[in-house]
């Protein structure tokens, strides 16, 4: 058996130390060692987008990264998203938006969709429907048909703009 | 690499992560070319002003690769050495005659793009060599360029695709043409015959269409679940004509001072 590696990762602004086999994926580390099971594993080959998290502020597939590659780096998962919203609010506007517009059904793809949309809204506060669709083309949803997902992102964009205007 | 591991298609005993070697990443301006480190992220190249100005076809090609989350991690070198015949970047490198700087312990050598892609998922790299950087020639400011492809979804590997770069002379005739196709043979392929046929031509729709048909001579398209061999061959000519038209149009706009 391969020797384990000590790693130190900041996840959702909290520092974690771990001892992992080099072959362990970041997704497995988040789920199995840290218990952050909000990051979902669908295809485990980078196609479905369910496991999308932010790695130093950029979206990545956590199934396509090894936990050892995240040593010393900063990760944001779905569990940390609410804290990036308005202080005192239970949910991030993206999460609230998906509730308002019924942007999810089974919910399996939702964490990855929200992380992808979070990056988009950070870059572009007023994305068009086409821009949202193109950005989300790497996140597969088998339930919704995407209409309400797009509506949820638009809802969030509007509310985030209103918040920053105030 | 990681999908291959996850699917257990590759079971390496030792895996070396090159991410720690910072000198393998970066975009530098060199005489008449842009040198890009093999470990430079696709999204970095996509956003680079240097690339957008000097080699815009490369930046344009990035937008066709997977999705943003893929391009944040995917590297130029990774895509080139993987040598998927349906990938965009190998075809761009081939169309532009990019130079591949490879290194092994103590010995460096340069492989021209034309000799780099040897077969399906296979390159001229020796087992103990790594790709260090790729030199892309700077396009003339008046060059027209286009990438056209057919894919089931945006970001998927192409069923068939083509990269075209065109330059016009002062009389508006074609002075230079570069055509590289992907998804239609075991490696990306140049069509020298179609390129030669274009030189000196008035770039009207008929001339472009006639030349585009010639690309079929070098093709040996695979048949798979997504398309038959015949479909790919047909699509290659249509896409080439489309790319040439767009490249010529762009060239005309860019030539107006």
- At the top level of CATH, the class of B144-255 is alpha beta
pLDDT at A166 (0 to 100) = 67
Query: Could you identify the residue written with the tokens 């008449």?
Result: B32
Asked if the C-beta of B72 comes within 8 angstroms of chain A's C-beta atoms, the answer is yes
Give the Cα-Cα-Cα angle B206, B212, B214 (nearest 5 degrees).
115
- List chain B residues with pLDDT less than 70: 257
Close Cβ partners of A1 (under 8 Å, ≥ 6 residues apart)? A21
Query: Which H/E stretch holds residue B210?
Result: helix B205-213
| Fold agreement (B23-137, B144-255) | no
| Interval A10-24: pLDDT, tens | 999 999 999 999 999
Domain at A82-165: CATH code: 1.10.150.120
| A:B CB pairs within 8 Å | 58
Q: Do A64 and B153 touch (CB under 8 A)?
A: no
pTM: 0.93
Q: Do A61 and B153 touch (CB under 8 A)?
A: no
Choose the closest CB to B72 out of A44, A59, A66: A59
- Asked whether B67 and B46 are in contact (CB, 8 A), the reply is no
pLDDT at B4 (0 to 100) = 86
Query: What is the C-alpha separation between A55 and A41, in angstroms, rounded?
Result: 17
pLDDT at B138 (0 to 100) = 97
Q: What is the CA radius of gyration of chain A?
A: 16
Q: Please state the domain extents for chain B.
A: 23-137, 144-255
What 3-state class would DSSP assign to B152?
Answer: coil
| Interval A89-129: pLDDT, tens | 899 999 999 999 999 999 999 999 999 999 999 999 999 99
- Asked whether A52 and A60 are in contact (CB, 8 A), the reply is yes
* Backbone angle region of B12, left / alpha / beta, with phi > 0 → left and psi within -120 to 50 → alpha: beta
Asked if the C-beta of B15 comes within 8 angstroms of chain A's C-beta atoms, the answer is yes
- Helix, strand, coil abundance in chain A, percent, nearest 5: 45, 15, 40
Which chain B residue has its CA at the smallest distance from A28's CA?
A: B6
Q: Residue B241: CA atoms inside 13 Å, Cβ hemisphere, count?
A: 17
Give the sign of the dihedral formed by CA A115, CA B24, CA A4, CA A22: positive
What 3-state class would DSSP assign to B19?
Answer: helix
- In A12-121, at which residue ranges do the beta strands (DSSP E only) sit? 14-20, 52-55, 58-61, 74-76
Tokens for B75, please give them.
């590297």
| Interval B43-86: pLDDT, tens | 999 999 999 999 999 999 999 999 999 999 999 999 999 999 99
Q: Evaluate if residue A2 carries a pLDDT over 80.
A: no
Interface mutation vs chain A, best among B19, B20, B68, B154, most A CBs within 10 Å: B68
Strand order in the sheet with A14-20: A14-20, A5-11, A74-76, A52-55, A58-61
Residue B194: alpha-carbon gap to chain centroid: 17
A7 beta partners = A18
Q: Evaluate if residue A1 carries a pLDDT over 70.
A: no
Q: With beta carbons under 8 A apart, name residues in chain B contacting A113.
A: none
Close Cβ partners of B252 (under 8 Å, ≥ 6 residues apart)? B144, B168, B172
- At the top level of CATH, the class of A5-80 is alpha beta
Report the gap between the CA of B155 and the closest CA in chain A (Å): 8
Close Cβ partners of A140 (under 8 Å, ≥ 6 residues apart)? A42, A47, A48, A49, A50, A109
Asked if the C-beta of B109 comes within 8 angstroms of chain A's C-beta atoms, the answer is no
Q: Please state the domain extents for chain A.
A: 5-80, 82-165
State the ipTM, two decimals.
0.91
| Interval B128-149: pLDDT, tens | 999 999 999 999 999 999 999 9
DSSP state of B214: G
- Annotation: CATH topology of B23-137: 3.30.465
What 3-state class would DSSP assign to B106?
Answer: coil
């Amino acid at each position: 058996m391969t020797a384990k590696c000590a790693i130190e990762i900041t996840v959702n602004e909290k520092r974690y130390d771990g001892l992992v086999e080099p072959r362990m994926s970041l997704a497995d580390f988040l789920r199995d060692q840290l218990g952050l099971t909000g990051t979902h594993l669908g295809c485990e080959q980078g196609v479905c987008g369910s496991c999308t998290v932010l790695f130093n502020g950029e979206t990545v597939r956590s199934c396509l990264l090894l936990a050892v590659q995240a040593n010393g780096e900063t990760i944001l998962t779905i569990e940390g998203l609410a804290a990036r919203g308005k202080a005192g609010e239970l949910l991030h506007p993206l999460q609230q938006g998906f509730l308002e517009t019924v942007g999810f059904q089974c919910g399996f793809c939702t964490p990855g969709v929200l992380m992808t949309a979070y990056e988009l809204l950070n870059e572009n506060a007023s994305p068009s429907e086409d821009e949202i669709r193109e950005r989300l083309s790497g996140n597969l949803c088998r339930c919704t048909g995407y209409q309400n997902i797009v509506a949820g992102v638009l809802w969030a964009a509007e509310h985030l703009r209103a918040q920053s205007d105030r | 690499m990681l999908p291959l591991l996850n699917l257990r298609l590759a079971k390496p005993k030792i895996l070396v992560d090159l991410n720690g070697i910072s000198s393998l990443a970066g975009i530098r301006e060199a005489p008449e070319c842009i040198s890009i480190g093999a470990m430079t992220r696709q999204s970095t190249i996509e956003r680079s002003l240097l690339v957008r100005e000097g080699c815009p076809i490369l930046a344009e090609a990035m937008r066709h690769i997977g999705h943003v989350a893929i391009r944040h991690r995917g590297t130029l070198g990774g895509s080139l050495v993987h040598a998927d015949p349906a990938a965009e970047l190998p075809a761009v490198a081939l169309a532009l005659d990019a130079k591949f700087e490879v290194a092994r312990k103590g010995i460096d050598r340069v492989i021209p793009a034309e000799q780099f892609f040897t077969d399906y998922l296979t390159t001229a790299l020796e087992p103990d060599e790594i790709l260090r950087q790729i030199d892309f020639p700077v396009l003339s400011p008046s060059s027209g360029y286009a990438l056209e492809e057919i894919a089931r979804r945006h970001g998927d590997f192409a069923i068939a695709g083509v990269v075209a770069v065109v330059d016009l002379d002062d009389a508006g005739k074609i002075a230079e043409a570069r055509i590289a196709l992907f998804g239609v043979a075991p490696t990306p392929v140049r069509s020298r015959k179609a390129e030669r046929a274009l030189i000196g031509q008035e770039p009207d729709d008929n001339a472009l269409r006639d030349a585009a048909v010639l690309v079929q001579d070098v093709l040996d398209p695979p048949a798979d679940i997504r398309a038959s061999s015949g479909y790919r061959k047909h699509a290659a000519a249509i896409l080439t004509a489309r790319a040439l038209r767009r490249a010529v149009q762009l060239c005309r706009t860019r030539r107006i001072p």
